[in-house]
Chains A and B, each alone.
Chain A
Amino acid sequence: MSELEPVIGLEIHVQLKTRTKMFCGCELSFGDPPNTHTCPVCLGLPGSLPVANARAVHFGLMIGMALESELAPRSIFHRKNYFYPDLPKGYQISQYDEPLCLGGRLGDVRIHRVHLEEDAAKLTHVGASGRIQGSDESIVDFNRGGTPLAEIVTEPDLRTPEQAGEWLRLLRTTLRQLGVSDVNMEEGSLRCDANISLRPAGSGELGTKTELKNMNSFRFIERGIRAEIARQEKLLGAGERVVQETLHFDPASNAITTLRSKEEAHDYRYFPEPDLVPIAIEQAMLDAAAGAMGELPAARAERLQRTLGLSADSARQMAFRTELGDYFEAALAASVGGAGPHPPAQALANWISSDLLARLQDGASSGEGSAGGEEVDGDPSRSRVQPAAIAALVGLASAKQISVGAARQVLDRLVAEGGDPLEIVEAEGLAAMGDAEDLGAIVAAALAANADAAERVRAGNAKAIGPIVGYVMRETKGRADGGDVTKLVNEQLGI
């Protein structure tokens, strides 16, 4: 049997950050007391009628533009009919065969379509099972019901779980940059299902796919897809067939269970929603969407590279992770009026993406297994390190007013307690050694104290310098510049 290749497509639901719900005037909320943001429309009371939220259409168009979709001049809403307690009308107003946006692309992945719909209410099942079957009672909170959603469907262009996770991060960044959604998986404003199938590598045909639901963090998405690929590989390896079905991923046990088979699939009886008129896109709406687009990640990367001279990798890193890019640019801006030396852009980017992020991740890495996986990467703006502080610190280090080692010590303090780098440098006496101080004398003492090492260095073993430098750093509390120390050692040893 030839090598099997996974084929993965994603269906992403994004809650739009409008002020009001998709079809009524109730304000969006998160965490408010249950059923405090409801009205006859979102409760599905008899006689109530939906009116489409123009702002949601505007956001939908922005998403379509960002994903390079074709924007339909006319699209319509359909009713998707099924009974469930979180669906007060007995149907969801969605879009079917005439969606707002068709086709498109983001990065390496083609977009199939983007459409608008309304979110269901939130169900809580009281009782041991935690699911509706076997619960003692079920409680409905309609605050979420009617929240505008954009459903983004990709073509099956992804091949690995990691690639899926990576692409989803890019999508999240893009949507966040657009300002159309909070795109927070923990709070459910970004939700992702995956369609997964296997086929012989290089084959042009698609195997039987399954739909995997309930992956509510970036970590779980990759784990869930990996688990489903493994399950399918095992089936096919044993000569069995994959059955088309909808699956549930349980992150706690890594187990994949059937939600419903193809036979149990709903017949949604879609038909055009007679309570709404078609969305007719006028030029003014397109202009408004285009005008509100702001800078998308790809364009930002290009700009950072061109105008600030960042390396291509750094530019992409800053652009594709909005929180890094925003923090970086905020730091750069803060340094303009700052008192200390100006940090070079590349150095600033390096310090943020390596030293600072590493420290933030260390602090968060105990979160493995928790649902909070998505933020483990660290958002520096949520840390105690102010953008102006990192800018000042990098400025001092780059101007050699403090050594790299001292800068790292200061950063430790900033991450732990916040504060002003200059004050920390002064309070701790970490300023780089001035000309007045006799570094040469300390180096001489170090050579004397490490005669063996000095002999080896003299004999050509450059690596043997470690203990000598270590001595100097101890003596200077890390304030000495490593390069200066090496230079002096070499001078004094006559190399």
Chain B
Amino acid sequence: MSETEIIGLSAARAAAEIAAGELAAEELFEAYRARAAGHIAGEGLNCFTWVAQEGTGEGTAAPLGGVPLAVKDLFCTEGVPSQSGSKILEGYLPPYTATAVSRLTSAGASLLGKTNQDEFAMGSSNENSAYGPVLNPWNRARVPGGSSGGSAAAVAAGLAPWALGTDTGGSIRQPAALCGIVGLKPTYGAVSRYGMIAFASSLDQAGPLARDVTDAALMLHYLVGRDERDATSLGFPEEIALPSAERLDGIRLGVPKELTAGSSGADGEGIEAGVLDAFEAALGRAEELGAEIVRSVQLPHAPHALAAYYVLAPAEASSNLARFDGVRYGLRAEDPKDLLDMYTRTRHEGFGAEVKRRIMLGTYALSSGYYDAYYGRAQRVRTKIAEDFRAAFAEVDFIVTPTAPTVAFELGEKTGDPLQMYLNDYCTVPMSLAGIPAISIPCGLSEGLPVGLQIAGPAFSENRLLDAAHALERELGFDGSQARL
């Protein structure tokens, strides 16, 4: 097999070729390793923060047969740098491996590298990484999205067959959309969080970034399951199957107006026209497959989701990031004059601007006298949003929206305006707050850049969701190979 042929294989296909003896796992791994090695430390797309020297798979007999796996930096990997995109964890080598990673390597996946990300998963453009921004393989002047930007760009560019990411408010789905690949955020609790360096514990979920829906399903199959080390993890009620649906007959797709309104212009809110066009065209194709488009469905509290999210997530983050104090691991400021000086300078030097901003926001929101007005109220909004979805799913099978309001934007375009940056998560945050699964699949191009379509379903509806995404993916026939290097 030529290198181009090898790189052209999906993860599922590559595993099948290895199992059939048509492809050597070592050859597959080396092909990817050599490519990945050129995109690290500011070179190329800067997707990686660490690349393996050799494969670590359990052997070709295992179901994933040694297929290389890129893993977002924030997953702890024993003896391998796990820095969560932060200077404060530069060179940190965990003594243990995250459950999500070990589940995949136990199934035969081989750790290819750790991928660049926004610091502590806080960002929508991967520009908040202490290890430099990731470039979008569709256009290197553009961002790949974030926070799983390195994972998304690596998969889109063919530097990894697939990648493990995390999604707190859209961090798998939005970069998947901006890079023209598939990204799935599972039901909260479906995948263990043990070993994921936490951003916002009640929202963080691990999930696949993949070239197609089948690969996403294959990875999810091995990811899900109760983990006794994560009290919030839940046993998945059924096995995740590889999707096979080709039609959408009888499927009711709800299009909530709250998340599909066009941009009115200056305020930056709403969906840009090119994205809406691609979205509507995809809905037309869905109808051709037999789906019913329901535009009466409502998510009345969804417009408040972003505000609630930017109270709750920073509140949890302010506490989760307190452990980075210079006492036990990671950066410690030099020659502190006392304890307070060590704390302040370590955190001043170790955290980037966005992380500091969110720690401040979260600390404020939890402060005595403000808790009810901010944290308490945001929790009530969260409950309302979950109720909105429950009511909506009584009427429709899935909610569909554009994944992100815009296509990939230019590097530096939004770094000066955090609120503009936060609006990237407008369509993805409501599902995160509700804890429900959502998948982004590429549905077309606008300005020559990919547009993502988001499909969300009730908790634990992943099998149905993957089937619907598979049927639509087949119909849309999006060709992502042009981004491949």
Which chain B positions have C-beta within 8 A of A36?
A: none
Q: Is the CB of B323 within 8 A of A49?
A: no
Complex Cα–Cα for A83 and B344 (A): 11
Which chain B positions have C-beta within 8 A of A40?
A: 94-96
Q: Is the CB of B325 within 8 A of A90?
A: yes
B338 to chain A, nearest CB (A): 7
B195-211 CB contacts (< 8 Å) to partner A: 195-198, 200-202
Chain A: which residue is nearest B201 at the CB level? Answer: A274
Which chain B positions have C-beta within 8 A of A291?
A: none
Complex Cα–Cα for A276 and B231 (A): 6
Chain A: which residue is nearest B321 at the CB level? Answer: A90
Q: Is the CB of B322 within 8 A of A89?
A: yes
Chain A: which residue is nearest B339 at the CB level? Answer: A132
Complex Cα–Cα for A194 and B322 (A): 30
Which chain B positions have C-beta within 8 A of A482?
A: none
B192 to chain A, nearest CB (A): 9
Q: Which of B133-141, B294-302, B360-368 contacts A (4 or more CB under 8 A)?
A: B360-368
Residue A423 CB within 8 A of the other chain: no
Chain A: which residue is nearest B369 at the CB level? Answer: A267
Chain B: which residue is nearest A85 at the CB level? Answer: B327
A264-284 CB contacts (< 8 Å) to partner B: 267, 269-271, 274-277
Known: A44-B328, A45-B329, A271-B375. A90 touches B322 (CB 8 A): yes
Please give the number of chain A residues whose Cβ is less than 8 angstroms from any Cβ of chain B in the complex: 30
Among the listed A46, A271, A277, which residue makes an inter-chain contact with B92, where contact means beta carbons less than 8 Å apart?
A: A46
A42-100 CB contacts (< 8 Å) to partner B: 43-52, 79, 81, 83, 85, 88-91
Chain A: which residue is nearest B233 at the CB level? Answer: A49
Q: Is the CB of A45 within 8 A of B95?
A: yes
The 8 A CB mask of A86-126 against B (1 = contact, 0 = none) is: 00111100000000000000000000000000000000000
Complex Cα–Cα for A47 and B72 (A): 13
Residue A354 CB within 8 A of the other chain: no
Q: Is the CB of A52 within 8 A of B202?
A: no
A45 to chain B, nearest CB (A): 7
B402 to chain A, nearest CB (A): 29
Q: Is the CB of B94 within 8 A of A47?
A: yes
Residue A129 CB within 8 A of the other chain: no
Which chain A positions have C-beta within 8 A of B95?
A: 40, 45
Known: A90-B322, A132-B339. A48 touches B82 (CB 8 A): no
Of residues B193, B194, B197, B338, which shows the largest number of chain A Cβ atoms within 10 Å of its Cβ?
Answer: B194
A77 to chain B, nearest CB (A): 10
Known: A140-B327, A271-B315. A277 touches B375 (CB 8 A): no
B311-332 CB contacts (< 8 Å) to partner A: 315-316, 318-319, 321-325, 327-329
Q: Is the CB of A271 within 8 A of B371?
A: yes
Among the listed B202, B327, B363, which residue makes an inter-chain contact with A269, where contact means beta carbons less than 8 Å apart?
A: B363
* Main SS class of interface, B: loop
Known: A45-B95, A46-B76, A81-B366. A269 touches B319 (CB 8 A): yes
Complex Cα–Cα for A277 and B323 (A): 21
Q: Is the CB of A48 within 8 A of B327?
A: no
Which chain B positions have C-beta within 8 A of A90?
A: 319, 321-323, 325
Chain B: which residue is nearest A134 at the CB level? Answer: B338
User: Chain B, interface size: which category?
Assistant: 35 or more
Complex Cα–Cα for A276 and B96 (A): 21
Which chain B positions have C-beta within 8 A of A2?
A: none
Which chain A positions have C-beta within 8 A of B76?
A: 45-47
Residue B84 CB within 8 A of the other chain: yes
B96 to chain A, nearest CB (A): 5
Known: A83-B322, A88-B328. A49 touches B202 (CB 8 A): no
Which chain B positions have C-beta within 8 A of A83?
A: 322, 325, 343
A48 to chain B, nearest CB (A): 7
Chain B: which residue is nearest A133 at the CB level? Answer: B338
Residue B288 CB within 8 A of the other chain: no
Of residues A43, A52, A83, which shows the largest number of chain B Cβ atoms within 10 Å of its Cβ?
Answer: A83
Residue B228 CB within 8 A of the other chain: yes
Which chain A positions have C-beta within 8 A of B324?
A: 46
Q: Is the CB of A277 within 8 A of B319?
A: no
Q: Is the CB of A275 within 8 A of B323?
A: no
Q: Is the CB of A271 within 8 A of B368?
A: no
Q: Is the CB of A267 within 8 A of B328?
A: no
Q: Is the CB of A271 within 8 A of B366?
A: yes
Residue B229 CB within 8 A of the other chain: yes
Complex Cα–Cα for A46 and B323 (A): 8
Complex Cα–Cα for A271 and B202 (A): 12
B residues at A contact (CB < 8 Å):
74-76, 82, 84, 89, 92, 94-96, 98, 193-198, 200-202, 228-232, 315-316, 318-319, 321-325, 327-329, 338-339, 343, 363, 366-368, 371, 375
**A and B contact pairs by CB, cutoff 8 A, 18 listed:** A45-B94, A46-B92, A46-B329, A47-B75, A47-B197, A49-B229, A49-B230, A51-B228, A81-B322, A83-B343, A85-B339, A88-B328, A89-B323, A90-B323, A132-B339, A267-B367, A271-B375, A274-B232
A residues at B contact (CB < 8 Å):
40, 43-52, 79, 81, 83, 85, 88-91, 132-133, 140, 267, 269-271, 274-277
Extra A-B contacts (11), CB below 8 Å, given A45-B94, A267-B368: A40-B96, A45-B76, A46-B197, A49-B230, A85-B339, A89-B323, A90-B321, A270-B366, A271-B366, A275-B198, A277-B232
10 smallest CB-CB distances across A and B, nearest first, come from A90-B322, A269-B366, A274-B201, A274-B202, A47-B195, A46-B197, A47-B76, A267-B368, A44-B323, A47-B197
